[in-house]
Amino acid sequence: MERQRSFSIKSTSVFLALIITTISSAVIFFTFFSIKSNSSNANNFQIDLSPVASITETTTSLHISDSSVSPQQSPILISTHFTPPENTSGSAKIPDFEKKTRGEVSSVKVIELPSKNGEEKKKKTKKRISQECDVTNGKWVYDSDLPLYTNASCPFIDEGFACQSNGRLDLDYMKWRWEPRDCDAPRFNATKMLEMIRGKRLVFVGDSINRNQWESMLCMLFQAVKDPKRVYETHNRRITKEKGNYSFRFADYKCTVEFYVTHFLVREGKARVGKKRRETLRIDAMDRTSSRWKGANILVFNTAHWWSHYKTKSGVNYYQEGDLVHPKLDVSTAFKKALQTWSSWVDKNVDPKRTRVFFRSAAPSHFSGGEWNSGGHCREAKNLLNQTFKPSYSGKNIIVEEVLKQMKTPVTLLNVSGLSQYRIDAHPSIFGAKPENRRSQAVQDCSHWCLPGVPDTWNHFLYLHLLHKR
């Protein structure tokens, strides 16, 4: 009996042990596969990157789809809005985030994620950038590395734009750089620009504001030239306001950078009105210098500055089509007709396969207390308009866009109007002439721009377009 009881107890113990072992194994087995199952679904989640303030303006979400997505589908969708960090140090820094010029495609984007131990981990995700970068959306930042040149280092700045040489002492207007908000545009590289126009003709056509931009381009390119004597005007002309046409040759690159003056793009002339011959504007005929523009590889046009009621006689007996001199025609209608004449010339005479065409939008003036001929001034303006200022878009720019859309030849609009409206500080004012040449303190230039200055940014935009197309 004693031995039998002992066996029964041992049998019961063994039986209980087997049950406990079985239950434990089941728990472990269930737990293991639960973890594995959860991990297989871990791709279906949303990461909130809002703490990464240095690269996002608002909450940015990274959506990762399930790994079962077929190769034909796009497995990754990234919604990101980049905002450059505010400049609090007093000097500009180039942001480190994704570089993309207008329409450029980026195959990899790096997003910084904070880890639990405080260290940042890089997560690479593939993304194609389909949208274009709007370089006009941005802000002016102070950059201690500017200017790219000075009145002393560039011999091509005429007296009207050489503000420092003419006695202007506050020089901060030289040190502001336009920083696009949604893209990290590469800085202007004079050597690369010269290589892009090697063996080509870069031609600026327009009024004195375009001459302003042309002189800026000459100065920006000249800084990369090793031998100054290898840059010269092909007719030995010295740049002045009087002579209108120039062609500077950069011998080492076998290229020319040219300027042709035309206030309206169309022809200025005279016609008999009544018993007198009067000045008229032939809005149906191109400027007489247009034959010289042919064959250029890059054409940069502008007109706007002279299209005012004062300079166009308020449209009374001024605009001419054929033999007809309109007794009265409003400036907007005349401006559109003139642009249509210009666009027809471009479509007829420009080969898009060998020539790129640009049209720069209207640049603003900043007269206070009157106009250029009635005591208008801007001398006291030494600072930019602040970021609360909202730029306007002129009716002339809208007309330009309408005409460009109707052309068969591709024309790129260099839209500089909005960003230039902030720069009330950057006009020559009384420093558009040397002290001994100033006729009066009351005559101030608040239309053109000191060099170095705002037109350098316009040329940077031109450079970006050429760089991307290349």
What is the residue-wise DSSP string for 132-147? PP-TTSEEEEE-TT--
Which residue from 341, 364, 463, 360 is spatially nearest to 412, judged by alpha carbons?
360
299 three-state secondary structure:
strand
**Cβ atoms within 10 Å, residue 43:** 13
Q: Residue 115 in contact with residue 121, Cβ under 8 Å?
A: yes
The residue from 377, 448, 460, 465 that is catalytic is: 448
**398 C-beta neighbours (distance < 10 Å), count:** 11
The answer to whether 227 is a known catalytic residue is no
Q: Is 448 a catalytic residue?
A: yes
> Which residues are registered as beta bridge partners of 281?
268, 319
Name the residue type at position 239: I
- From the CB of residue 269, how many other CB atoms can be counted at a distance below 10 Å? 14
DSSP letters spanning 80-113? ----PPP--SSS-----S----TT---SEEEEEE
Angstrom CA distances, 392 to 213, 325, 398, 418, 422, stand at 22, 33, 11, 7, 11
Task: Say if residues 392 and 421 touch (Cβ distance below 8 Å).
Answer: yes
CB atoms within 10 A of CB 2: 6
Question: Using omega within 30 degrees of 0 as the cis cutoff, is the peptide bond preceding 452 cis?
Answer: yes
Block residue for tokens 């089941």: 26
Instruction: Examine the residue annotation and report whether 115 is marked as an active-site residue of this protein.
Output: no
Helix (H, G, I), strand (E, B) or coil at 308: coil
Q: Which of 207, 287, 425, 445 is catalytic?
A: 445
> How does DSSP assign 197-222, residue by residue?
TTT-EEEEEESHHHHHHHHHHHHHHH
DSSP reduced 3-state for 120: strand
User: Strands 201-206 and 255-261, how do they pair?
Assistant: parallel
One-letter amino acid for residue 396 of the chain: K
Question: Which one of the listed residues 182, 208, 420, 425 is annotated catalytic?
Answer: 208
DSSP assignment letter at 368: B
Catalytically active residues are: 208, 445, 448
